Amino acid sequence: MSGSTTDSAPENEHDGPSETVEPSAQESSAREPSAREPSAQESSARADDEKVAAVRRVARAGRRWRAAQLAGCAALLAVALTGGSIAFGALRDGGTATVASSSAVSPGLMASGDLDAGIRAIQAHLRTQPKDYGSWATLGLAYVEQARTKGDPSRYPQAEQALKRSLEVEPDNGQGLTGLAALAAARHDFKGALTYADRTLKQNPYNERALSSRIDALVELGRYAEASKAADLADERRPGIPVFTRYAYVHELRGDVRTARTVLERALSTATTPGDIAYVASALGQLAWNQGDYGTALTDYARALAADDSYLPALEGRARAQAASGDRAAAIKGMEAVVARYPLPGPLVALGELYEDRGGDGDKAKAGDQYALVDAWTALARANGVNADLDTAMAAADHGDKAAALRAARAEWARRHTVHTADALAWALHVNGRDKEALPYARQATATGYRNASFLYHRGIVELAAGDKKEGRSLLGSALKLNPGFSPLGAREARKALKEASE
């Protein structure tokens, strides 16, 4: 299922000739607490408070953000993400929430429910056993998981360092290769992810992570027929939650929502850890929300939050479902809490649109602050090796530099042909007044049967602009019937355009 992809924790371990792993100055939070140091709980609470305070300081900056240089914005966002632990020059992109990815880290590490503590334990182990290539790979995957769950792309260079060390100690080991596949996918290098997954599967055709990464890569490259075959093969070889969730998403992309939900319910019935329960229940919530079934979505998100009350995708999804259900106050409160912890493009744009839709005193400026933070996050992402063009295209088309949106959409389309990149390019062309050029891409975005109200809305607007009122009205009506609350602003514009086209 669509998920999102990125999170934060200790910094680099040094890789010197002595082959030891010593914490850097930026890694002080990873040390065992001494009699003079705060406890892990106190440090975590303090860090969370610092993140919230930093984001609020950024929000209060208001219009000054839009006048400041982007590099300065990125540096401030880095502080907001890590409570000040990232150096000024360490900047990153991560996620349009299209990659179907469950936890990349080993079940043993995740079972404790404390990823940061698990990382500290691995670091301590590697100080005494620096030749343990498996632990280096696990550390790399743990950093990828931190980036995925907390939205901190500065972890990706650390993940790369650890995974490369694993492969230096033991060339071509499967754990290291699957880790590089996960890292490449997180950075939106899907060709690289496919290459690493295939290399791993040549060694071990039953490697669950490699089978899952291969499906993800093929989906994100738009090679849907191959992804479907890869999902079938993975289901034969290693049935389980990672494969089930990907199998479900492949079916959803073809419009087979019933099968997708059946498979996800099956996955949820086998889930035992809080992380797996939260992940699968959130995927079910997203599936229900896409179909406009907000009651079911809220129930699914409640299941996720019962397992893990801090699970970010569930908190974000619940806020979106509340907004679509008409509970705007709860939606804004929930989305504010999400972006205060992890300011990622999706929730930032959603919160900005909720402010615009409310239209109270100061709401326009508040919305502008959210959109400015998207630009800063994009700079941070790119500086950490993540391709952010899809995020840039979608946010900028509606709330930023339209020419930049088109450049980014074209660049992303040159790399991969998916329904999401087709939709992004179509919309970027539309907002730049190039509707006839946009039309083939808008049609391609809806060609697989994927039931996405935003895609239908975009195509409906493009069809109207290109002169086909009948088709435009039909598509706008379908979008609003499928998911009438798909976007606070988009749904309003769809109703307005439908009314005007019907007069």
Q: How many helices (H) and strands (E) does the chain have?
A: 26, 0
Nearest partner of 27 among 103, 92, 122, 107, judged by Cα = 122
What contacts 24+ positions apart, CB below 8 Å, involve 330-338? Answer: 332/358, 338/312
pTM over 0.85: no
Strand partners, 149: 6
Ranges of residues in the chain whose predicted pLDDT is under 70: 1-113
Write down the residue that tokens 């809305």 correspond to.
Answer: 457
Residues in CB range of 493: below 8 A, 6 or more apart: 457, 461
- Asked if residue 297 lies in contact with residue 317, where contact means CB atoms within 8 angstroms, the answer is yes
The alpha carbon of 482 is separated from its chain's Cα centroid by a whole number of angstroms, namely: 24
The confidence score (pLDDT) of residue 103 equals 42
Q: What are 138-149's pLDDT values in tens digits? A: 999 999 988 877
Write down the residue that tokens 């002169």 correspond to.
Answer: 467
Write down the residue that tokens 């990622």 correspond to.
Answer: 344
Helix, strand, or coil here: 83? coil
Query: 13 φ, ψ to 5°?
Result: -100, 145
Helix, strand, or coil here: 13? strand
Tokens of 333: 């409160």
Residue 172 amino acid letter: D
Query: 23 φ, ψ to 5°?
Result: -70, 140
Q: What are 19-64's pLDDT values in tens digits? A: 333 333 333 333 333 334 444 444 444 444 444 444 344 444 433 4
Residue 19 amino acid letter: E
SS in 3 state form for 272-304?
CCHHHHHHHHHHHHHHHHHCCCHHHHHHHHHHH
Q: How far apart are CA 259 and CA 232, in angstroms?
A: 13
The confidence score (pLDDT) of residue 72 equals 34
Q: How far apart are CA 73 and CA 78, in angstroms?
A: 9
Query: 433 φ, ψ to 5°?
Result: 75, 25
The confidence score (pLDDT) of residue 113 equals 54
What contacts 24+ positions apart, CB below 8 Å, involve 409-415? Answer: 412/387, 413/441, 415/191, 415/387, 415/389
Residue 265 amino acid letter: E
Residue 293 amino acid letter: D
Query: 194 φ, ψ to 5°?
Result: -65, -40
- Asked if residue 186 lies in contact with residue 156, where contact means CB atoms within 8 angstroms, the answer is yes
Q: How far apart are CA 143 and CA 119, in angstroms?
A: 8
The confidence score (pLDDT) of residue 384 equals 86
Helix, strand, or coil here: 23? strand
Tokens of 41: 């709980």
Nearest partner of 144 among 169, 174, 195, 109, judged by Cα = 109
Helix, strand, or coil here: 66? helix
- Asked if residue 137 lies in contact with residue 175, where contact means CB atoms within 8 angstroms, the answer is yes
- Asked if residue 477 lies in contact with residue 283, where contact means CB atoms within 8 angstroms, the answer is no
Residues in CB range of 72: below 8 A, 6 or more apart: none
Query: 148 φ, ψ to 5°?
Result: -65, -45
- Asked if residue 357 lies in contact with residue 492, where contact means CB atoms within 8 angstroms, the answer is yes
Q: How far apart are CA 144 and CA 160, in angstroms?
A: 9
Q: What are 203-254's pLDDT values in tens digits? A: 999 999 999 999 999 999 999 999 999 999 999 999 999 999 999 999 999 9
